[in-house]
Each structure stands twice: as structure tokens, then as C-alpha cells.
Amino acid sequence: MRKVKPRTLVSWIGGNDLKATGNINAEGQALGPIAATLRAQAFDAVELLYSYPEDQVKPYLDWLQKYIPLPINSQSIALSSPVNFGEIYIQVNEQLARVSAQGCNLSILLSPGTPAMQAVWILLGKTRYPCQFYQSSLEEGVQQIDIPFELSAEYLPAVKSISSSKISQLAEATAPINAAFDNIVTRNPRMKALKAQAQILAERELPVLIYGETGTGKELFARAIHNASKRGDKAFVPVNCGAIPSELVDSVLFGHKKGAFTGAVSDKPGVFEQADGGTLFLDEFGELEPSVQVRLLRVLQEGSFVPVGGLKERKVDVRLITATHRDLMESVASGQFREDLFYRVAVGVLHLPPLREREGDLSLLTDALIRELGANDLTLKDKKISPEAKNIIFRHSWRGNVRELQSTLLRAALWCQGDEITAVDLRQALFNMPDINAGFLNKDISQGIDIQEVIGSVAANYIRKALTCSGQNKTRAAQLLGLKNYQTLNNWMEKYGISQ
């Protein structure tokens, strides 16, 4: 015998409902739309939303509970305006999702509330949450109504309901300020070993150098190390060295005095001074010019510097964490990076693998990133990825690593129609970049190129293909590449930072 689902009525509390408070002997619409509907129809529970002040609503709820002996649950909803469609949609969608999860037959009373509230009821009730509609009016009394049209679930992609500032915040993809090692999601043995090494480094006052391609999580590791260290309650100051104009590097790093140069209208502390007592994270460290490297080395050796335009030395106590996508040993060998500075910063070294080499992590990361999007914005809370879309994720190369995966999932979640991200949604969200090696013979030499970087890119590309083709058998991969033996292949892999 089939179990009958309980019937639940959901409604906003309106002005006419509040006016009915205390009308014990009233009939019809003098009771207000909610009480009149509950008296005319049989329901098992009531869910009420309100945006009125608490002191106006509580007397009504007390009266209604005495008048209607049913379980009544009420929820205060914060709205900047009772006609703000976006806010109403987000709040109502969350409440209907909660009520629907209880396994009831859902009914919605349309009458109370503003036209915007009524429109959102219809949108959601005709698409995401199958329900019966009721209205209660002075002329017609209480009626179950049929809305004689269907709406496509395409009516409102999530992007419509999220502010531009919120979308920008979601797209920033920066490591959380309170990042911990638990934020590093992995089941890959190599990544687990790196987390363990990083935790050891966190306990020691050592400089740390983090290698890794763009988007592999270098800042996440840096913040986790800082937060787990004795300096965790002090400042963590991140700086992207590649984004600093060459003429401002000294000022950004060491600060300047008023009048030191045109535009220096006041004293300004540099990042070393801002990070005093804490941690300075220099991302894209390999982009610093040799002249800056000299001055940086002195600060690391002596713990002091002179601001631009200043005369007096300043002492600082800073732990340095650096990160780069470049092979600094290669840069040292070619004379582009100072050897003494390299050995100063490369005490604790972490080499983060690209996502394509993190076997077992892609599915885990995808699920974790989708959950994170939902936690950051309620509109994205129920998003899920279809099996077909996941298969596309597994086949993609993810040259931008975790950062590319995160931004792709965000685009797909914002524009997908409904709660499931389909294969079509994901294909539209993906950027298919041209093969980086396809045009290596046609680079514009007039602008200058790094020939070692070109050679390294080509070599790394074919080494990875050979390893994949050989099932990670190094002897067979070496044969495919025309190398003498697997030891020669090991040397090449070490040179270009490739791991299995």
C-alpha cells in the first residue's frame, strides 16, 4: 500500500494576514488569505516566509497557531526590497528546496506578497518544484488554480541571480585567507607526500621555494604553510612579481619616502615592511630582473633595507616563501638568475605536479570545487555534474591546471539551465587553446625568444606522450624517444621537471 505524502502549504505572510490578527469569529477573507485557505483546504503542515518586522509578525503567528492546529514553521527573510527579483528568487529557491527535500506534496498560496514574490512563486512552481497553486480573494474565495502554460527550465540561469561583484569574487580563485592543509584536496600519493613535507617546513623558520605550472596551487601551499607556522597570527603579504612595472619594483618591495620620485606624495611602506613579523610570498619570483635580485639578496642576508629616497636603514623579520613556474636552475645556468640568491631561497623546495600528473585527483577536485561554489553562493548550491560532462573533464588536458578547472566549472554552473551541468554546458564553458607546440617553428624572432624554453617545451611534450603511450614504462618510453636507456630518460625528466 502506497504511503500518502503529507500536504504542505507554503506562503509569504502579507499585509492582509497581519490585519486579521485576533479575528477569532471572522469568516472568509476577514481571516486573511492564509487562515482562510487553511480553513477551506486540508493540509498537514504550513511553511510561512515573512519580511515584516518581528514585532508585527509574532502576534499574528501566535494567533494563527491557536486558530489553526497544524505544525507551522515560519522563516524571517532579509530583503533589501520586497520587489527585488534576484533576492526573492535566491531566498525562495532555498526554502522550496528545503521543503521539497521533506518528501511532501507541495502547495503554494499566491495571494499574499508583492507581484515580484508572486512571479517568483510561479517561475519556481512551474519548473523546479512541481506543486499545486492556490489563491484567496474577496471575490472568489479560496480556489485551487491551474496556470495554463508551461515554462522552460531555461528561464533563469544562475548568472541572472548573482550580482556582478559576487561573480567577480567567485572568479578570483585566490587561496582562502585561512587556508589549511585540509584545503589541499588530493588522493594522489605524490601530492600527499608534498603536503607532509610542507607541514614539516611550516614548523621551521626556513625559506621555501615552490615550483609549479600556473594554477597548480602554489599560493594555497604558501598560505597553508604560513597559517600552520608560528607566524600564523601575523601578516601574510602576497606579491606577484611579474605584475610589477620594472620602474616601481624597488618602491613596491622596499617602500619610498615622500618626494622620492614624481607621484610620491607621501611615505609608503613596501611589502617587506608590511610583512614584518610575518610571511612575504613572492609569486612569479623568477621574473625579477638581475638588478633587483642583487638588492633582494642583501635584504635576505642582512635583514635590512633602505626605502627609495630614504637614508636610514630599516630592520625587518620576514619569512620568505617564493614561487615560480620557471626552472630556476636552468636560469642560473644561463646567467639569468643569480646563483647565490637561488641557494638563499631554495632551502625548502616543493615541486607541485600539474593536474594531468595527479592521477585520481581530477574527479575528487571537480566534486570539491562544485561544493565550494555552492557554499559561496546559494544559487549554485544544488549544482551537479552529469556523467557525460565528467567524461569531458577527464579527457581535457587542463593546461591551466586547477585554476582552469575552477573557472570552467564556474562558467558552466552560471549558465547551465537547471541544477545539472550537462555535457553541452561544459563544452560551451571550455576554452580550447591552440597547442602550445604547434607553432614552435613559427615564433616571431623579431621580438626575441627563449630558445631553451622552446626546446624544453617540445621535449617535455613528447616525453609525456611517450610515457602515456608506454603505460609509464620508462624503458619503452626511452626507445620511443630514441634515447639510449631509461636512465637517460630519467635525466631528461629531471631536467624538465617531469614526474610520473
Q: Is the pLDDT of residue 86 over 50?
A: yes
Q: Is the pLDDT of residue 423 over 50?
A: yes
- Bridge partners (DSSP) listed for residue 348: 208
- Domain count of the fold of the chain: 4
Residues 28 and 147 in one domain: yes
Q: Is the pLDDT of residue 433 over 90?
A: no
**Euclidean distance between CA atoms 79 and 87, whole angstroms:** 7
Residues 382 and 490 in one domain: no
Residues 106 and 214 in one domain: no
Q: Average pLDDT for residues 441-461, to the nearest whole number? A: 73
Last residue of a domain, one of 316, 335, 351: 351
Residues 311 and 370 in one domain: no
Residues 213 and 95 in one domain: no
Last residue of a domain, one of 351, 375, 410: 351
Residue 166 located in a structural domain:
no
Quote the mean pLDDT of the chain. Answer: 83
For residue 471, what pLDDT is reported?
64
pTM over 0.75: no
CB atoms within 10 A of CB 446: 6
Last residue of a domain, one of 328, 351, 374: 351
**Euclidean distance between CA atoms 405 and 398, whole angstroms:** 7
Q: Is the pLDDT of residue 78 over 60?
A: yes
Q: Is the pLDDT of residue 268 over 90?
A: no
Determine which helix (DSSP H) or strand (DSSP E) holds 8, and give its type and residue range. strand 7-12
Residues 137 and 53 in one domain: yes
Q: Which CATH number fits the domain that encloses residue 276?
A: 3.40.50.300
For residues 249 and 282, the answer to whether their CB atoms sit within 8 Å is: no
Q: What percent of the chain has pLDDT over 90?
A: 23
Nearest CA-CA partner of 368 in 172, 226, 187 = 187
For residue 176, what pLDDT is reported?
62
Residue 144, SS3 per DSSP:
strand
Q: Which CATH number fits the domain that encloses residue 410?
A: 1.10.8.60
When mean pLDDT is compared across 44-58, 278-292, 453-467, the lowest value belongs to 453-467
Residue 459 located in a structural domain:
yes
Residue 252 located in a structural domain:
yes
Cβ-based neighbours of 23, under 8 Å, separated by 6 or more: 30, 31, 32
Residue 380 located in a structural domain:
yes
Q: Which domain holds residue 413?
A: 356-429
Residue 23 located in a structural domain:
yes
Residue 434 located in a structural domain:
no
Cα torsion 435, 437, 441, 442: sign:
positive
Select the more confidently predicted residue: 330 or 271. Answer: 271
Q: Which of 15-24, 52-61, 149-158, 379-388 has the highest mean pLDDT?
A: 52-61
For residue 274, what pLDDT is reported?
92
